[in-house]
Structure formats: C-alpha cells, structure tokens
Amino acid sequence: MRAATALPKLFGTDGIRGKANEHPITVEMAEKLGKAIISMIAKDDDTPKIVVGRDTRASGMDFQKAFARGIIDAGGEVLLLGILPTPAVSFAIKHENADAGIMISASHNPAEENGFKFFNSKGVKFSEEEEAAIERTLESKSFRIVGAGPKERDIEGYRAYKKYLISGNVLSGLKIVADAGNGAASFIAQEVFEKAGAEVHVINNRPDGTNINKECGAMHPQHLQEEVLRQRADCGMAFDGDADRLVVANEKGEIVDGDAVILAIAKDFLKNGELAKKAVVVTEYSNTALDDELEELGAKAVRVRNGDKYVYEEMKKHGYSLGGEQSGHIILAGNTTGDGILTAINLAAIMKRTGKKLSELTKMEKKPQVLINVEVEEKKELGTLPLTAAAISSAERKLQQLKGRLLIRYSGTQNMLRIMLEGNSKEEIKRLAEDIATAAKKEIGA
C-alpha cells in the first residue's frame, strides 16, 4: 500500500495564497478550513462565532460561501462582513465579540490570485502554532460536524470601523489624492477622508472583480504621482487590495516608502511622549539609515523577521507603540495589524498639526539599497544551487568592503526569490544583486 504523503505547509508569511481555484485556494479547501477552525476552537456544545470579510476579487464570493458552509456544518455561526479592508476584520472580531475571523484576500497580488488570512479572538493574525494546529486538523480530517448549525447572517461590516477611523475635523485644509487600487479601500476612502475634513480626490475606486491592483494602488503608484501634481495636492495615499498597506507620494509627486513614514510618525510620537520605550519595531528589509536616524533622536530600531504579524508579536511582547515594514504595513498602538487608511490619516494629521510639507516630514538620507525579485518554478534550498550559492558567497565577501549587508529569501506569499543588497555603492550592489539574480534564473527561474 502506498504511504500517504505529508500535508505540505499551506501557510506563508501572511496566511495562505495562490492561484484562485487551484490548490490550495479552492472552494473545497475553504470549506475544510471553515470546519477545521471550528473544530480547533469549539468546546462541547459551544457555538463559535466567526466573522468573514473579503476584498473585491471576482473569486471572493465563492470562497465566502464555502467558508460559511464549512463553519455552519461544524456548528458555528457566520457573520458576513462583505467587502472591507483587512484591518476592519480584526476590528470587527473585537466589536462583535467573535471567536475568530477570516479575510479572503491576496493583498497586493494580481486579481487571478486569492488567499485566506486568519485572526484569533483578539483580532491578532494566527501564530505559527495556530497555523500548525489548523494543518494538523486538516491532515487528520477529524472535523467537528454538528449538522445544520446556525444560519449565516449579514452585519454592517464597517460602520463601527469607519467611526473609529475618524476623530474630528483633523484634516481640514488639506487636499489629498487617494488611490484605492480598485480594492477594499474603494468603498471607504472617500467617506473617511471627507469626514476627517480633507478635500479628497479618489482614483481607481471602480472595482470590477478583475482590476484589483492592476497598474494602480500601492504596487503601481505612477498614476498617484501624476494625479498629485495635476491636482496640486498636499500628498497622495495609495492602498493595496485589502488596504492594510500604504504607499505615499509627497507634494512633489515623489514616492515615500514605509521607512520614511515610520520615521515621521516616530518623531511625532517622541515629541508627544507616545513612543513607548523609545523604540520602533521594523523588519530585516528596513534601510539601516532608519536605525541611524532613530539613534540620533535617542531612540532605537528593534528588528524582526519579515511579516507584519511578527512586528506585532514583538510590539505586544515588549509593549512597544509603533512598528512596521518598509513595504507600508504600519502598526500603531492599540492595533493588531497593519492599517493603510489609519496610517494615512495619522500621517496627514501630523502635516496638519505641524504645518509642514510631507517632503520635509519624511526627509531621510537612505543608504543605497537594491531589491530584485526573481520568479521561480521551485523553492529549492539555495545551498544546493551551485551557481546561485557561488554568486551569494562572492557578494558577501565584497559587501564586507562596502559596509553592506545581504538578505535573500523566498517570498512567503508568491513563487519569488527576493534578493536585497544594501551598501555604500549603488552601482556595485546593483551589479552584485544582478549576478545573483542571473544565476538564480538559470537554475530555478520560471
């Protein structure tokens, strides 16, 4: 008899992702995951309550129905949130006193992909231990089946969340361009910014199920830059598909990444005595210039592995009040996950309070950094790839002279090898990164 193969690890750095309707992103898997969550958290005759949200992808509705079937069959109750940002799911869990939450989204990935993000009863993304428990339940197929459980019901997904985002007329006098990325921010950005007092011009807010992140939003901010200049706006705010990420354009139409935004907020927190323990949590990808800038202010950067859930874990563990990623996932005190819209409002409010232009607030002399993504067919151990390993070793030796560093890892959400080099010479680190990328393409390129 043929031995059963071990269940492959489904979870990446931010939930489960892949091509919609191909393993593991199928309606069958969604239904099983719904049952597995209830089986994991239910006690005796308990009726766990699960909130489910989604972004604007065409495949989202089918997955929402599949999750609902699985949860109900296992004796749970489903609260359908509809289309809304990922951080609103985290908020709704606490607001509805739910036992867990699911967000159906592939975040910044293309429309043909989708994914599942999971939150516990505290609105925190599942830990690796909780993810492992889900996978063990799937592998054992020992689902809790109660039969015809409570029916699903719809709730107003983000009324309370929107109220939470807006605190008075804090942005009056500011003109903002918002790029909704044809994603979840499409149905909330205009109202939130206007109620906060800003004059707002929203672009890419007409999702059709296939245009999420398509040449727009946080991943493609070129239109945002052009519109900021055309509108003579004070700034531009671009969101990804599920609006947990923010990419900013200043009044000059220049892109401001997460590191500079984090620094601006950290300075404001320090001034107001709100930067707990005078520390900011960032990931391996943040430019080391951020460490230097914080040190000059009498603060420090605490580094963790890539992924905003790891940023939050460190914040929670030590009581820090600010953390985030260079990519634009920023977590403010009191929140459990990145929130692009909340970060945008806070950044704009700093502009309003100080009267300073965004280019001044986010000024930061960065060290040269190069990031190259290589699409791969298979995620093989890099040490087993002779050409790639040799290129990495050569780069490591030369980076010692350039007082630089190298970070190479496979993406946890896509079939990509991410190659990041930082050092004193832009030209040299670019050449070294390209050498590694060329070798990787030959050996494992798609």
**What pLDDT score does 9 carry?**
77
Q: Give 162 or 332, the one with higher predicted confidence.
A: 332
User: End of a domain among 159, 192, 226?
Assistant: 159
User: End of a domain among 108, 125, 159?
Assistant: 159
Range of the domain at 106: 16-159
**What pLDDT score does 6 carry?**
40
Question: What's the chain's length in residues?
Answer: 446
Arithmetic mean of pLDDT over the chain: 93
Dihedrals φ, ψ of 215, to 5°? Answer: 50, 40
Neighbours of 433 (CB within 10 A): 21
**What pLDDT score does 189 carry?**
95
- In whole angstroms, give the CA distance from residue 335 to residue 331: 6
- 112-139 b/e (C-beta count within 10 Å ≥ 16 → b): ebbbbbbbbeebbbbeeebbebbbebbe
Same domain? 307 vs 375? no
**What pLDDT score does 157 carry?**
62
- In whole angstroms, give the CA distance from residue 46 to residue 67: 19
**Do 379 and 299 contact (CB within 8 A), yes or no?**
no
Task: Look up residue 437 and give its two tokens.
Answer: 């990328």
**What pLDDT score does 232 carry?**
98
- In whole angstroms, give the CA distance from residue 178 to residue 125: 27
CATH (domain of 420): 3.30.310.50
Same domain? 211 vs 291? yes
Signed CA dihedral, 264, 203, 325, 317: sign only:
positive
**What pLDDT score does 415 carry?**
87
Task: Look up residue 431 and give its two tokens.
Answer: 């050449």
Helix (H, G, I), strand (E, B) or coil at 412: coil
User: End of a domain among 361, 379, 412?
Assistant: 361
Alpha carbon 234 to its chain centroid, in Å, reads 25
Q: Give 145 or 181, the one with higher predicted confidence.
A: 181
Same domain? 210 vs 306? yes
- In whole angstroms, give the CA distance from residue 424 to residue 420: 14
Residue 1 lies in a domain: no
In this predicted model, what pLDDT tens digit does every residue of 79-113 receive, in sequence order?
999 999 999 999 999 999 999 999 999 999 999 99
Same domain? 100 vs 139? yes
**What pLDDT score does 403 carry?**
86
> DSSP state, 384?
G
Strands 77-83 and 153-154: parallel
Q: What is the mean pLDDT of residues 307-327?
A: 96
Same domain? 300 vs 382? no
- Read off the pLDDT band of 7 (50, 70, 90): very low
Which residues are designated catalytic?
107
CATH (domain of 294): 3.40.120.10
In this predicted model, what pLDDT tens digit does every residue of 202-211 receive, in sequence order?
999 999 999 9
Q: Is the pLDDT of residue 169 over 90?
A: no
**What pLDDT score does 5 carry?**
36
Residue 11 lies in a domain: no
Angle, helix 86-95 to helix 340-354, in steps of 10 degrees: 100
Residue 2 lies in a domain: no
In this predicted model, what pLDDT tens digit does every residue of 373-387 receive, in sequence order?
999 999 999 999 999
pTM: 0.89
Q: What is the mean pLDDT of residues 409-416?
A: 85
Q: Is the pLDDT of residue 2 over 60?
A: no
Residue 7 lies in a domain: no
Dihedrals φ, ψ of 38, to 5°? Answer: -65, -45
**What pLDDT score does 446 carry?**
86
Task: Lay out the sheet containing 246-249: strands in order across.
Answer: 199-203, 175-179, 235-239, 246-249, 255-256
Alpha carbon 19 to its chain centroid, in Å, reads 18
Q: What is the mean pLDDT of residues 29-48?
A: 92
**How buried is 172 (Cβ within 10 angstroms: 0-12 exposed, 13-18 middle, 19+ buried)?**
exposed
- In whole angstroms, give the CA distance from residue 68 to residue 37: 12
Strand partners, 257: none
When divided into structural domains, the chain yields a total of 3
Q: Give 407 or 8, the one with higher predicted confidence.
A: 407
Same domain? 237 vs 109? no
Signed CA dihedral, 178, 183, 187, 192: sign only:
negative
Strand partners, 115: 17
In this predicted model, what pLDDT tens digit does every residue of 220-239 receive, in sequence order?
999 999 999 999 999 999 99
Q: Is the pLDDT of residue 148 over 80?
A: no
Residue 281 lies in a domain: yes
- In whole angstroms, give the CA distance from residue 15 to residue 37: 14
Q: Is the pLDDT of residue 33 over 60?
A: yes
Residue 5 lies in a domain: no
Residues 6+ apart with CB under 8 A from 295: none
Beta strands in 339-398 (DSSP E): 369-375
